[in-house]
Amino acid sequence: MTSNQFPTNIAIAGVYEHESRFSPDKTEFQIMAECAKGALDDSGLALADVDGLFGASMTMGMMGIVDLAEYLNIRPSHIDGSNIGGSSFVSHVNHAAAAINAGLCDVALVLYGSTAASNAMAIGTGGSSGSRNPETAFTVPYGMTTVGSYAMYANLHMKKYGTTSEQLAEIAVTMRHHASLNPLAKMRKLITVDDVLSSRLISSPLHLLDCCIISDGGGAVVVTSLERARDLRSKPIQILGCGEAVQHQGVGDTDLLTIAAKQSGNQAFAMAGLKRSDIDLAMIYDSFTITVLATLENLGFCKAGEGGNFVTGGNIGLKGTLPVNPDGGGLSSNHPGMRGIFLIIEAVKQLRGECGERQLDSPETALAHGTGGTIGDKHSGATLILGVTQ
């Protein structure tokens, strides 16, 4: 069992989102380095202050984090290159908070960079055509795709609860409205529910506009002690709670509709000592529209089966009871393969009040939840609850 006494003396001191959505002239590490500079400048710290390095990417292999330290020419005292999919960076911030609290490092830098778009990666629909891996022997012969797995979740949810394609489409429409207010977002032209429903099916019941975009990009987050952060350039954002979880098919007896977010969310809320209704902003990994619905239900923002109603009528819009992804999310702003770091960056900027046209009215608490891997199959979940300091 985890302790509810999570250290509340850790803060996010700097963030940076790479402005580009297409960088054919840059490498992953170059994008990460540019993001490192951006986040360190934001905090007022220097690369020489960094003694904890965290990072993962689509292509970093074994010892990738060591390669990254070499690229940056730094010699940190604490490194963590764990890769649990798109949620990795939420998990890295959780691990950084624990490491700083334990005295293993003082200034942690969390990095992501990707050239998924300029490499023309088929992320959601590129099913494997062969494998020498015993773990995939039972999926490879059948043409399992990422979008196909989420689509199977969606069909089950529709059958069990009567959820509709129109309700899922509203999520995409809301994200696009948010993106229209974000000058960095890749897709800013407003869309309607009909636009989503008339876009071609990719894997039933999910249409093209139910799926996230593919972009290049990157981001960085600087984590340090609240005490140190108070003396730095930007307003510190405190870490209030966190949780991580894994969900998979077990021995073939798992309830597919229960995802990792249920466990990681409960853990994060218990640590933070907050209720669901205390949260002013939710940053939810939106690989597909169904991902948002599944995550909101499993985090407990609404009951199982009520997600369809919860996401309609502007309820997750900027003026709704729970604004979700004011930046436009992976559905419309950016999705360079692994999106977890942008959940944290937008949460911090909103809590600081730096978001211009899409800025919420003085939010004090935010939740970020990253999903890594594939809902409907095996996946990880990482939850982070943040708050402004008093």
Q: What is the DSSP letter of 200?
A: P
CB nearer to other proteins: give 28 or 210.
210
CB nearer to other proteins: give 255 or 357.
255
CB nearer to other proteins: give 222 or 290.
290
DSSP H stretches of helix in the chain: 28-43, 64-72, 88-101, 146-161, 165-180, 193-198, 226-229, 260-272, 289-299, 307-310, 329-332, 340-352
Which of 101, 98, 96, 62 has the alpha carbon at shortest distance from 79?
96
Q: Count Cβ atoms within 10 A of the Cβ of residue 112 and give its class: 0-12 exposed, 13-18 middle, 19 or more buried.
A: buried
**Distance between CA 158 and CA 100 in Å, rounded?**
44
| CB 176, min distance to other proteins, A | 21
| CB 247, min distance to other proteins, A | 14
Contact (CB, 8 A) for 254 and 247: yes
| CB 75, min distance to other proteins, A | 40
| CB 146, min distance to other proteins, A | 10
| CB 254, min distance to other proteins, A | 8
CB nearer to other proteins: give 98 or 140.
140
| CB 122, min distance to other proteins, A | 6
**Distance between CA 24 and CA 297 in Å, rounded?**
38
| Token pair of 340 as six digits | 């977890």
**Distance between CA 332 and CA 316 in Å, rounded?**
15
CB nearer to other proteins: give 85 or 205.
205
CB nearer to other proteins: give 125 or 321.
125
CB nearer to other proteins: give 150 or 310.
150
| CB 261, min distance to other proteins, A | 19
Compute CA distances 47 → 41, 52, 82, 205, 217, whole Å. Answer: 9, 11, 21, 47, 21
The contact set with other proteins (CB under 8 A) reads 122, 125-134, 136-145, 147-148, 151-156, 159, 200-206, 249-253, 256, 376
The terminus-to-terminus CA distance of the chain in angstroms comes to 30
Question: For residue 119, what are the contacts with CB-CB under 8 A and spacing of at least 6?
Answer: none
